[in-house]
Structure 1
Protein backbone atom coordinates (compact mmCIF):
# COMPACT_ATOMS: atom_id res chain seq x y z
CA UNK A 1 0.00 0.00 0.00
CA UNK A 2 1.52 3.32 -1.02
CA UNK A 3 0.85 6.44 0.98
CA UNK A 4 2.84 9.62 1.13
CA UNK A 5 4.16 10.27 4.59
CA UNK A 6 6.81 12.25 6.40
CA UNK A 7 8.81 11.13 9.44
CA UNK A 8 10.43 13.71 11.70
CA UNK A 9 11.64 14.22 15.22
CA UNK A 10 8.79 14.93 17.62
CA UNK A 11 8.46 18.21 19.45
CA UNK A 12 6.39 19.16 22.53
CA UNK A 13 3.55 20.54 20.39
CA UNK A 14 3.04 16.98 19.08
CA UNK A 15 2.14 15.56 22.52
CA UNK A 16 -1.68 15.77 22.16
CA UNK A 17 -1.64 14.14 18.71
CA UNK A 18 0.85 11.52 19.88
CA UNK A 19 -1.44 10.68 22.80
CA UNK A 20 -4.35 10.20 20.39
CA UNK A 21 -2.29 7.90 18.13
CA UNK A 22 -1.08 5.97 21.18
CA UNK A 23 -4.58 5.41 22.57
CA UNK A 24 -6.18 4.68 19.20
CA UNK A 25 -3.50 2.18 18.20
CA UNK A 26 -3.63 0.47 21.60
CA UNK A 27 -7.35 0.01 21.03
CA UNK A 28 -6.73 -1.34 17.50
CA UNK A 29 -3.91 -3.65 18.54
CA UNK A 30 -4.60 -4.80 22.08
CA UNK A 31 -8.38 -5.33 22.20
CA UNK A 32 -8.65 -8.85 23.58
CA UNK A 33 -5.11 -8.78 25.03
CA UNK A 34 -5.60 -5.89 27.46
CA UNK A 35 -8.71 -5.43 29.54
CA UNK A 36 -11.54 -3.43 27.98
CA UNK A 37 -11.78 -1.39 31.16
CA UNK A 38 -8.19 -0.23 30.70
CA UNK A 39 -8.56 0.45 26.97
CA UNK A 40 -11.86 2.28 27.44
CA UNK A 41 -10.80 4.25 30.53
CA UNK A 42 -11.98 7.84 30.00
CA UNK A 43 -8.70 9.11 31.51
CA UNK A 44 -6.46 7.13 29.13
CA UNK A 45 -6.03 9.94 26.60
CA UNK A 46 -5.13 12.49 29.30
CA UNK A 47 -2.70 10.02 30.90
CA UNK A 48 -0.95 9.40 27.55
CA UNK A 49 -0.79 13.14 26.83
CA UNK A 50 0.95 13.70 30.18
CA UNK A 51 3.32 10.85 29.33
CA UNK A 52 4.24 12.32 25.92
CA UNK A 53 4.56 15.85 27.28
CA UNK A 54 7.04 14.58 29.87
CA UNK A 55 8.88 12.43 27.31
CA UNK A 56 9.38 15.51 25.13
CA UNK A 57 10.16 18.13 27.80
CA UNK A 58 11.59 16.54 30.95
CA UNK A 59 15.42 16.55 31.07
CA UNK A 60 15.33 13.02 32.55
CA UNK A 61 14.39 11.78 29.07
CA UNK A 62 16.93 13.76 27.05
CA UNK A 63 18.67 10.55 25.88
CA UNK A 64 15.46 9.30 24.25
CA UNK A 65 14.79 9.60 20.53
CA UNK A 66 11.19 10.38 19.67
CA UNK A 67 9.70 10.56 16.17
CA UNK A 68 6.33 10.99 14.52
CA UNK A 69 4.96 10.02 11.12
CA UNK A 70 2.51 12.29 9.33
CA UNK A 71 0.21 11.86 6.35
CA UNK A 72 -1.52 14.99 5.06
CA UNK A 73 -0.35 16.83 8.22
CA UNK A 74 -2.09 14.27 10.46
CA UNK A 75 -0.11 12.10 12.87
CA UNK A 76 -0.34 8.43 11.87
CA UNK A 77 2.53 6.90 13.85
CA UNK A 78 4.84 7.38 16.81
CA UNK A 79 8.11 5.86 18.02
CA UNK A 80 10.49 6.26 20.94
CA UNK A 81 13.80 4.66 21.85
CA UNK A 82 16.31 5.26 24.59
CA UNK A 83 18.85 3.58 26.83
CA UNK A 84 18.22 -0.13 27.36
CA UNK A 85 16.37 -0.75 30.60
CA UNK A 86 17.36 -4.36 31.17
CA UNK A 87 20.29 -5.37 28.94
CA UNK A 88 23.23 -3.04 29.65
CA UNK A 89 25.26 -4.39 26.72
CA UNK A 90 22.49 -3.34 24.30
CA UNK A 91 22.82 0.43 24.06
CA UNK A 92 19.31 1.13 22.79
CA UNK A 93 15.81 -0.10 23.47
CA UNK A 94 12.75 0.52 21.36
CA UNK A 95 10.12 1.57 23.89
CA UNK A 96 7.26 2.53 21.57
CA UNK A 97 6.35 1.99 17.93
CA UNK A 98 2.72 2.38 16.92
CA UNK A 99 1.09 3.24 13.61
CA UNK A 100 -2.55 3.16 12.62
CA UNK A 101 -3.61 -0.14 11.06
CA UNK A 102 -4.62 1.80 7.94
CA UNK A 103 -0.92 2.56 7.36
CA UNK A 104 0.39 -0.98 7.93
CA UNK A 105 2.45 -2.19 4.99
CA UNK A 106 3.21 1.35 3.79
CA UNK A 107 6.74 1.65 5.19
CA UNK A 108 5.69 3.96 8.02
CA UNK A 109 6.76 1.50 10.73
CA UNK A 110 10.20 0.91 9.23
CA UNK A 111 10.74 4.64 8.71
CA UNK A 112 9.83 5.33 12.34
CA UNK A 113 12.07 2.52 13.59
CA UNK A 114 14.99 3.77 11.51
CA UNK A 115 14.44 7.33 12.73
CA UNK A 116 14.78 6.39 16.40
CA UNK A 117 17.36 3.57 16.07
CA UNK A 118 19.94 3.33 13.31
CA UNK A 119 19.23 0.30 11.09
CA UNK A 120 22.78 -0.93 11.74
CA UNK A 121 22.63 -0.55 15.55
CA UNK A 122 22.19 -3.20 18.20
CA UNK A 123 18.90 -2.85 20.02
CA UNK A 124 16.36 -4.60 22.20
CA UNK A 125 12.57 -4.37 22.48
CA UNK A 126 9.60 -6.01 24.17
CA UNK A 127 6.57 -6.97 22.06
CA UNK A 128 3.19 -8.35 23.09
CA UNK A 129 2.65 -12.05 22.56
CA UNK A 130 0.59 -12.98 20.70
CA UNK A 131 1.07 -10.16 18.22
CA UNK A 132 2.17 -12.00 15.08
CA UNK A 133 2.12 -8.98 12.76
CA UNK A 134 4.40 -6.92 15.01
CA UNK A 135 6.72 -9.86 15.67
CA UNK A 136 7.04 -10.52 11.92
CA UNK A 137 7.78 -6.82 11.35
CA UNK A 138 10.56 -6.87 13.94
CA UNK A 139 12.04 -10.11 12.52
CA UNK A 140 12.08 -8.45 9.09
CA UNK A 141 14.07 -5.63 10.70
CA UNK A 142 16.69 -7.96 12.19
CA UNK A 143 15.26 -8.70 15.64
CA UNK A 144 15.03 -12.23 17.06
CA UNK A 145 13.29 -13.48 20.18
CA UNK A 146 15.83 -14.37 22.85
CA UNK A 147 13.54 -16.43 25.08
CA UNK A 148 12.93 -13.79 27.76
CA UNK A 149 9.30 -13.17 28.73
CA UNK A 150 7.45 -10.96 31.18
CA UNK A 151 3.85 -10.19 32.04
CA UNK A 152 2.77 -6.61 32.72
CA UNK A 153 -0.83 -5.56 33.30
CA UNK A 154 -1.94 -9.03 32.26
CA UNK A 155 -0.18 -8.85 28.87
CA UNK A 156 2.63 -11.28 28.05
CA UNK A 157 5.62 -9.72 26.30
CA UNK A 158 8.59 -11.39 24.66
CA UNK A 159 11.99 -9.78 24.28
CA UNK A 160 13.58 -9.46 20.86
CA UNK A 161 17.16 -8.35 20.20
CA UNK A 162 19.11 -7.20 17.18
CA UNK A 163 22.88 -7.46 16.89
CA UNK A 164 24.71 -4.60 15.20
CA UNK A 165 25.12 -5.14 11.49
CA UNK A 166 28.64 -5.01 10.17
CA UNK A 167 29.15 -3.28 6.85
Structure 2
Protein backbone atom coordinates (compact mmCIF):
# COMPACT_ATOMS: atom_id res chain seq x y z
CA UNK A 1 0.00 0.00 0.00
CA UNK A 2 1.44 3.34 -1.09
CA UNK A 3 0.11 6.15 1.08
CA UNK A 4 1.40 9.18 -0.75
CA UNK A 5 3.70 10.13 -3.57
CA UNK A 6 4.41 9.55 -7.20
CA UNK A 7 6.23 6.65 -8.83
CA UNK A 8 9.75 7.69 -7.79
CA UNK A 9 8.82 9.27 -4.39
CA UNK A 10 6.53 7.46 -2.00
CA UNK A 11 5.65 6.80 1.64
CA UNK A 12 4.41 3.45 2.86
CA UNK A 13 4.17 1.42 6.06
CA UNK A 14 7.51 -0.15 6.95
CA UNK A 15 7.99 -3.90 6.70
CA UNK A 16 10.58 -6.02 8.54
CA UNK A 17 12.84 -6.23 5.45
CA UNK A 18 13.15 -2.40 5.65
CA UNK A 19 14.93 -2.69 9.03
CA UNK A 20 18.52 -2.56 7.67
CA UNK A 21 17.72 0.55 5.63
CA UNK A 22 15.91 2.25 8.53
CA UNK A 23 18.94 1.55 10.73
CA UNK A 24 21.23 2.95 8.02
CA UNK A 25 19.17 6.16 7.76
CA UNK A 26 19.27 6.51 11.55
CA UNK A 27 23.04 5.90 11.74
CA UNK A 28 23.96 8.25 8.91
CA UNK A 29 21.59 10.99 10.09
CA UNK A 30 22.71 10.79 13.71
CA UNK A 31 26.38 10.86 12.68
CA UNK A 32 25.96 13.84 10.37
CA UNK A 33 23.07 15.98 11.58
CA UNK A 34 23.19 15.13 15.30
CA UNK A 35 26.92 14.63 15.99
CA UNK A 36 27.06 17.77 18.16
CA UNK A 37 23.85 16.92 19.98
CA UNK A 38 24.23 13.25 20.91
CA UNK A 39 26.84 11.85 23.31
CA UNK A 40 29.88 10.59 21.39
CA UNK A 41 29.57 7.16 23.01
CA UNK A 42 26.16 6.65 21.36
CA UNK A 43 27.66 7.23 17.94
CA UNK A 44 31.02 5.55 18.57
CA UNK A 45 29.53 2.34 19.96
CA UNK A 46 26.87 1.99 17.27
CA UNK A 47 26.00 -1.68 16.60
CA UNK A 48 24.36 -2.05 13.17
CA UNK A 49 23.21 -5.61 13.81
CA UNK A 50 21.57 -4.76 17.15
CA UNK A 51 19.90 -1.61 15.82
CA UNK A 52 18.64 -3.48 12.75
CA UNK A 53 17.23 -6.25 14.95
CA UNK A 54 15.42 -3.67 17.13
CA UNK A 55 13.92 -2.02 14.05
CA UNK A 56 12.77 -5.37 12.63
CA UNK A 57 11.13 -6.21 15.95
CA UNK A 58 9.52 -2.76 16.26
CA UNK A 59 8.01 -3.04 12.79
CA UNK A 60 6.92 -6.68 13.21
CA UNK A 61 5.71 -6.40 16.82
CA UNK A 62 4.67 -2.83 17.65
CA UNK A 63 4.08 -2.25 21.37
CA UNK A 64 0.44 -1.29 20.70
CA UNK A 65 -1.85 -1.14 17.67
CA UNK A 66 -1.43 2.67 17.83
CA UNK A 67 2.30 2.45 17.06
CA UNK A 68 3.57 2.50 13.49
CA UNK A 69 6.57 3.13 11.29
CA UNK A 70 6.35 4.76 7.87
CA UNK A 71 9.20 4.89 5.36
CA UNK A 72 9.86 7.42 2.62
CA UNK A 73 11.43 6.06 -0.54
CA UNK A 74 13.00 7.61 -3.61
CA UNK A 75 13.45 5.33 -6.60
CA UNK A 76 12.88 2.37 -4.29
CA UNK A 77 15.57 3.40 -1.77
CA UNK A 78 14.50 4.05 1.85
CA UNK A 79 15.55 7.66 2.52
CA UNK A 80 13.65 8.49 5.69
CA UNK A 81 11.21 7.27 8.30
CA UNK A 82 8.59 8.41 10.78
CA UNK A 83 7.64 6.58 13.98
CA UNK A 84 4.29 7.38 15.58
CA UNK A 85 2.55 6.15 18.69
CA UNK A 86 0.57 7.20 21.73
CA UNK A 87 1.49 10.59 23.11
CA UNK A 88 3.63 10.84 26.21
CA UNK A 89 2.22 13.47 28.58
CA UNK A 90 4.52 15.29 30.99
CA UNK A 91 3.74 14.81 34.70
CA UNK A 92 0.80 16.99 35.67
CA UNK A 93 -0.49 17.54 32.13
CA UNK A 94 -4.06 16.55 31.33
CA UNK A 95 -5.04 15.20 27.91
CA UNK A 96 -5.53 17.88 25.25
CA UNK A 97 -8.94 19.49 24.95
CA UNK A 98 -8.37 19.37 21.18
CA UNK A 99 -9.01 15.63 21.16
CA UNK A 100 -6.97 12.45 21.01
CA UNK A 101 -3.25 13.07 20.51
CA UNK A 102 -0.60 10.92 18.90
CA UNK A 103 3.13 11.53 18.97
CA UNK A 104 5.78 11.56 16.27
CA UNK A 105 8.51 9.76 18.18
CA UNK A 106 11.02 10.06 15.34
CA UNK A 107 11.16 11.75 11.95
CA UNK A 108 14.45 11.42 10.10
CA UNK A 109 15.43 11.93 6.49
CA UNK A 110 18.98 11.07 5.54
CA UNK A 111 20.71 14.42 4.88
CA UNK A 112 21.77 13.63 1.30
CA UNK A 113 18.06 13.12 0.47
CA UNK A 114 16.93 16.26 2.27
CA UNK A 115 15.03 19.20 0.80
CA UNK A 116 13.11 16.95 -1.61
CA UNK A 117 9.83 16.88 0.31
CA UNK A 118 10.33 13.51 2.03
CA UNK A 119 9.72 14.95 5.52
CA UNK A 120 6.54 16.65 4.36
CA UNK A 121 5.32 13.45 2.68
CA UNK A 122 6.03 11.48 5.87
CA UNK A 123 4.01 13.95 7.96
CA UNK A 124 1.16 13.95 5.43
CA UNK A 125 1.10 10.15 5.40
CA UNK A 126 1.02 10.05 9.21
CA UNK A 127 -2.01 12.36 9.14
CA UNK A 128 -3.66 10.11 6.53
CA UNK A 129 -3.09 7.08 8.79
CA UNK A 130 -4.02 8.73 12.10
CA UNK A 131 -7.06 10.93 11.38
CA UNK A 132 -9.31 7.94 10.54
CA UNK A 133 -8.40 6.45 13.95
CA UNK A 134 -9.76 9.54 15.72
CA UNK A 135 -6.45 11.32 16.36
CA UNK A 136 -6.97 15.08 16.26
CA UNK A 137 -3.58 16.40 17.35
CA UNK A 138 0.06 15.44 16.74
CA UNK A 139 2.98 16.33 18.95
CA UNK A 140 6.73 15.75 18.94
CA UNK A 141 9.74 16.71 21.06
CA UNK A 142 12.56 18.69 19.41
CA UNK A 143 15.97 19.37 20.97
CA UNK A 144 16.51 23.09 21.56
CA UNK A 145 19.68 22.90 19.46
CA UNK A 146 17.89 21.31 16.46
CA UNK A 147 17.02 24.48 14.56
CA UNK A 148 16.58 22.59 11.28
CA UNK A 149 13.75 20.42 12.59
CA UNK A 150 12.15 23.34 14.41
CA UNK A 151 12.22 25.39 11.20
CA UNK A 152 10.77 22.50 9.19
CA UNK A 153 7.92 21.99 11.67
CA UNK A 154 7.17 25.70 11.79
CA UNK A 155 6.99 25.82 7.98
CA UNK A 156 4.56 22.87 8.13
CA UNK A 157 2.22 24.78 10.47
CA UNK A 158 3.40 23.32 13.79
CA UNK A 159 4.15 25.46 16.86
CA UNK A 160 5.94 25.03 20.16
CA UNK A 161 3.30 24.64 22.88
CA UNK A 162 5.31 25.75 25.92
CA UNK A 163 6.14 22.33 27.39
CA UNK A 164 9.82 21.53 27.89
CA UNK A 165 11.78 18.57 29.20
CA UNK A 166 15.38 17.60 29.84
CA UNK A 167 16.77 14.18 29.00
CA UNK A 168 19.81 12.75 30.74
CA UNK A 169 22.07 11.45 27.99
CA UNK A 170 25.01 10.35 30.10
CA UNK A 171 27.66 13.04 29.97
CA UNK A 172 25.21 15.58 28.57
CA UNK A 173 21.66 16.79 29.06
CA UNK A 174 19.40 17.30 26.05
CA UNK A 175 16.83 20.07 26.48
CA UNK A 176 13.72 19.72 24.33
CA UNK A 177 10.58 21.68 23.48
CA UNK A 178 7.31 20.08 22.53
CA UNK A 179 5.77 21.04 19.20
CA UNK A 180 2.23 20.28 18.09
CA UNK A 181 -0.22 20.57 15.21
CA UNK A 182 -3.98 20.21 15.08
CA UNK A 183 -5.06 17.74 12.41
CA UNK A 184 -8.68 18.88 12.15
CA UNK A 185 -10.41 22.20 12.50
CA UNK A 186 -13.62 22.99 14.40
CA UNK A 187 -15.68 21.44 11.59
CA UNK A 188 -13.65 18.22 11.77
CA UNK A 189 -11.79 18.84 8.50
CA UNK A 190 -8.16 17.84 8.12
TM-score under structure 1 length normalisation: 0.87
Change (3 A) 1:55 1:62: farther
Answering whether residue 37 of structure 2 is matched by residue 33 of structure 1, we say yes
Change (3 A) 1:61 1:20: farther
| 1:98 match: secondary structure | strand
Bigger Rg, structure 1 or 2? 2
State the Cα RMSD in Å: 2.0
Compute the displacement of 1:59 (Å): 4.9
Q: How many positions carry a matched residue from both structures? A: 163
Which position in structure 1 is the counterpart of 2:110?
A: 100
Per-residue CA shift, 1:123-164, capped at 9, x if unaligned? 110011111111011112221112222222122211111123
| 1:60 match: secondary structure | coil
**Aligned partner (choices 12, 17, 25) of residue 21 of structure 1:** 25
| 1:85 match: secondary structure | coil
Change (3 A) 1:165 1:95: same
Which position in structure 1 is the counterpart of 2:176?
A: 157
Compute the displacement of 1:61 (Å): 3.4
Which position in structure 2 is the counterpart of 1:129?
A: 144
Compute the displacement of 1:49 (Å): 1.6
Per-residue CA shift, 1:47-85, capped at 9, x if unaligned? 322331221112523321211111222211011111112
Contact 1:55-1:61 within 8 A present in 2 as well: no
Which position in structure 1 is the counterpart of 2:120?
A: 110
Show structure 2 runs of 5+ residues with no match. 1-7
**Distance in structure 2 (CA, Å) of the matches to 1:148 and 1:9:** 30
Show structure 1 runs of 5+ residues with no match. none
Change (3 A) 1:59 1:82: closer
**Distance in structure 2 (CA, Å) of the matches to 1:6 and 1:117:** 15
| 1:117 match: secondary structure | helix
Which position in structure 2 is the counterpart of 1:65?
A: 68
**Distance in structure 2 (CA, Å) of the matches to 1:58 and 1:13:** 13
Which position in structure 1 is the counterpart of 2:16?
A: 12
**Distance in structure 2 (CA, Å) of the matches to 1:93 and 1:72:** 28
